[in-house]
Amino acid sequence: MKIAVLGGGVSGLTAAFKLGADGHEVTVFEASDRLGGNISTDEWNECLVEWGPNGFLDNEPATLRLIEDLGLTDRLIRARESAERRYIWREGKLRELPTKPAKFLFSDCLSLFGRLRVLKEPWTKPAPAGDESLHDFATRHMGREAAEILIDAFVTGVYAGDPKRLSVASAFPKLKKLEDEYGSLIRGAKGRGFGPKGVLTSFDRGLQVLIDALGERVDVRFNAPVDQIDKGEFDHVICTLPARKLAPLVDGELAGLLNEIPIAPVTVVALKFRDPIDVPDAFGFLVPRNQGLRILGTLYDSSIFVNRAPDGSRLFRVLIGGRRDPEAVTLSDDELREIVSRELRQVWGSFSEPSEFGVVRHPLGISQYEIGHAKRLERIQAAAPEWLRLAGSSYRGVALNACVKEALDWTP
């Protein structure tokens, strides 16, 4: 069977690798001269910088099987222990997030009233009918303060999104499943263990290792943009392009539905410090929207993984933009430098200027699974021709694990 795959990101490459191993004739069409999509590992000023995703949790068997099949298992690296320390910016101060439920009672990430309200979660009212926003879901379970501080920061780290718009069922189906099965997130967590399972994981030379290995094992046509979607000589077409890129290539209802999927543009600012800087080793910090800063947060990359910066240097990545600040992707480098420097000094105190400053903009950023997303997907599937399969981060999961699992699950 002849299959065309449109898009050379992790979804398209994984699908092509799997289908090729199953005996199909597969060709990947990539519009640019590089593979990976938003995954982009760069050798930048003696540092190893991820301009997109930083890694994946090692709790998805499908991803681990793919890595084993590619012979990359011995190149995996886990985040350092220091990456377990995470902070949020609240009321003018960095506050450490508790890693264990017992520590939550004594944490200053919420007020005493806010913490006590979270403890009432097992007596949450039943879910209302229809598609519920993550903000309303979190408020119902944990109270308004936790929703506006903890959940808002959590959403920033995953979607750069607006919890008042995101559908809990589509964006965070595991949370919805806990409620459906146990009636309470705390009871569900006790039944399954607290916190996300898995450890943040990457490769010795970044996520590009995975992309390069996949690219070596599939047939790719580079600089091959598609100007319309047509079955042509192929039996099936798998399109992993972002919905906004696919929309101009199709007609009618399908084009309109694809254009309705919102996006969150994100800009990544990398900072390298050669001079000592008084910042503890940690994963980084996130900023709830109502806390007065424009940046979304900062990842302490050289504290998360080994070999990200030379000895004696520190590497950080600052995120800015998102669903609630899309104009940030249009800011100049000078404007970004001014905002980032001012706000990091507000968070960290005084420090010397970084020795290196770099910017990468993602105008199509992260797809947003907002209220009505599930019904929209049903309509998209009904409007698409039978031979066209739509996959990738626009539809059923934005994380690397979700993209890999979906790509491996499909069979023609």
In a domain, 136, yes or no: yes
Ranges of beta strands (E only) in 111-256 are 200-203, 219-221, 236-239
For residue 101, what pLDDT band results from cuts at 50, 70 and 90? confident
CATH of the domain at 124: 1.10.3110.10
If asked whether residues 188 and 212 sit together in one domain, one would say: no
Region 126-141: mean pLDDT is 96
pLDDT at 192: 54
User: Number of folded domains in the chain?
Assistant: 2
In a domain, 114, yes or no: yes
- The C-alpha atoms of residue 394 and residue 10 are separated, in whole angstroms, by 13
Q: What are 268's strand-pairing partners?
A: 319, 360
Q: What pLDDT score does 72 carry? A: 98
Query: Do 216 and 173 lie in a common domain?
Result: no
Q: What is the mean pLDDT of the chain?
A: 95
Q: Same domain, yes or no, for 229 and 376?
A: yes
Q: Is 404:15 a contact under the CB 8 Å cutoff?
A: no
User: Where is 278: in which H helix or E strand?
Assistant: none
Q: Quote the strand ranges of 45-90, DSSP E.
A: 47-50, 56-57, 76-78, 86-90
Asked if 105 and 188 sit in the same domain, the reply is: yes
Q: Which helix (H) or strand (E) holds 208?
A: helix 208-216
Q: What is the pLDDT of residues 167-209, one digit of tens each?
A: 999 999 999 999 999 999 988 877 554 455 789 999 999 999 9
Instruction: Report pLDDT for 232.
Output: 87
Q: Are residues 144 and 15 in the same domain?
A: no
Residue 113: exposed, middle, or buried by beta-carbon count in 10 A (0-12, 13-18, 19+)?
exposed
129 shares its domain with 179: yes
Q: What is the pLDDT of residue 193?
A: 46
pLDDT digits 0-9 by tens, 371-382: 999 999 999 999
**What's the rounded mean pLDDT across residues 216-238?**
94
Q: Is the pLDDT of residue 7 over 50?
A: yes
Q: Do 253 and 392 sit in the same domain of this protein?
A: yes
Residues 177 and 217 in one domain: no
- State whether 183 and 256 are in the same domain: no
Cα dihedral sign, 107-111-112-116:
negative
> Taking the model in full, what pTM does it have?
0.95
Q: What percent of the chain has pLDDT over 90?
A: 92
Q: Is residue 325 part of a domain?
A: no
Write down which residue in 192, 225, 252 finishes a domain: 192
| Closest-CA residue to 355 (of 311, 314, 306, 300) | 314
Q: Which of 144, 164, 192 is the last residue of a domain?
A: 192
For residues 253 and 386, state if they share a domain. Answer: yes
The whole-angstrom separation of Cα 375 and Cα 405 is 22
The domain of 132 spans: 101-192
Percentage of the chain with pLDDT > 70?
A: 99
What spatial distance separates the first Cα and last Cα of the chain, rounded to whole Å? Answer: 9
Asked whether 246 and 399 are in contact (CB, 8 A), the reply is no
According to the model, what pLDDT value does residue 186 have?
86
In a domain, 281, yes or no: no
Per-residue pLDDT tens digits for 44-67: 999 999 999 999 999 999 999 999
250 and 379 co-located in one domain: yes
Residue 319 confidence (pLDDT): 98
Same domain, 385 and 256: yes
| pLDDT score of 196 | 55
In a domain, 244, yes or no: yes
Quick check: 97 pLDDT over 50? yes
Q: Are 110 and 145 in contact (CB under 8 A)?
A: yes
Distance CA 1, CA 162 (A): 42
In this structure, which long-range contacts are made by residues 137-140, counting pairs with CB atoms below 8 Å and at least 24 apart in sequence? Answer: 137/168, 137/175, 137/176, 137/179, 138/163
**Does residue 197 lie in a domain region?**
no
Q: Which of 79, 54, 83, 99 is nearest to 282 (CA)?
A: 83
Eight-state DSSP code of residue 81: G
Whole-number Å distance between alpha carbons of 83 and 341: 23
| Residue 132 to residue 372: CA distance in whole angstroms | 9
Report the pLDDT value the prediction gives residue 190, as an integer from 0 to 100: 72
Last residue of a domain, one of 141, 166, 192: 192
Residue 152 covered by a domain: yes
Query: Are 391 and 242 spatial neighbours (Cβ–Cβ below 8 Å)?
Result: no
Residue 191: what pLDDT?
55
Q: Is 179 part of a structural domain of the chain?
A: yes
Within 10 angstroms of residue 4's Cβ, the number of other Cβ atoms is 25
- Report the SS3 class of residue 207: coil
Distance set, CA 256 to CA 152, 246, 261, 373, 398 (Å):
30, 11, 9, 14, 21
CATH number at residue 15: 3.50.50.60
Token pair of 110 as six digits: 């919420």
Question: What integer pLDDT is reported at residue 188 of this predicted model?
Answer: 83
pLDDT tens, residue by residue, 295-317: 999 999 999 999 999 999 999 99
- Res 108 pLDDT > 70: yes
The reported pLDDT for the residue numbered 149 is: 97
